[in-house]
Amino acid sequence: MKLEDILKPKREKNRRTLDHVGQFTSMLGPQSVYKGVFQGKDSHIVYGEVQGDCDIEGTLVLGEGGRWRGNIRARNVVIAGQVEGDIQAETKLELTRTAVVRGKISSPVVAIARGAVHDGSIRMTDQTKVTRFEDRREPPEGEKEK
């Protein structure tokens, strides 16, 4: 999934997590590896590999092909890659169709696209129902359903 596909809203209503992100202040490329604590106040997108914990006050996006080993805590979290660790989103957590998460997830709002894989528990602090949805963003060339 390309960055443009993630950021481009497909409908008028601003329901998707990324519809409200103005811009990303940092990006970790697909061939990069970061080891240590990932901290900050802004929005970040990761296509590479992170080995360590995350504690940010903005939005964290783990792009398709991205890998994270460690715990994640952020205001909003969108996962399109692989996570081995617990995720805590203060506002909303979204797992796209390519997400693979092994660990506990916790958020007031959890949205899981058809095709996403989650192995662990879900703790919702506000609502009692997980939102399941069909991801209507176009898959990359070569991955389109037939």
pLDDT recorded at residue 34: 93
Q: 0.85 cut: is pTM over it?
A: no
Confidence band for 125, pLDDT divided at 50, 70 and 90? confident
pLDDT recorded at residue 13: 47
In 3D, which of 4, 50, 48, 54 has the Cα closest to residue 28?
48
Structural domain boundaries in the chain: 3-11+18-133
Helical (H) or strand (E) element with 41: none
Confidence band for 12, pLDDT divided at 50, 70 and 90? very low
Tell me the residue type at 135.
Answer: D
Higher-scoring residue by pLDDT: 142, 37: 37
Predicted confidence (pLDDT) per residue in 15-61, tens digit = 555 545 556 567 888 999 999 998 888 889 999 999 999 999 999 99
Instruction: Check: CB of residue 58 under 8 Å from CB of residue 39.
Output: no
Confidence band for 9, pLDDT divided at 50, 70 and 90? very low
pLDDT recorded at residue 127: 62
CB proximity list for 24: less than 8 A, separation 6 or greater: 42, 43, 44, 45, 61
Predicted confidence (pLDDT) per residue in 66-118, tens digit = 999 999 999 999 999 999 999 999 999 999 999 999 999 999 989 999 999 99
Question: Is a pLDDT exceeding 60 seen at residue 146?
Answer: no
Instruction: Check: CB of residue 137 under 8 Å from CB of residue 5.
Output: yes
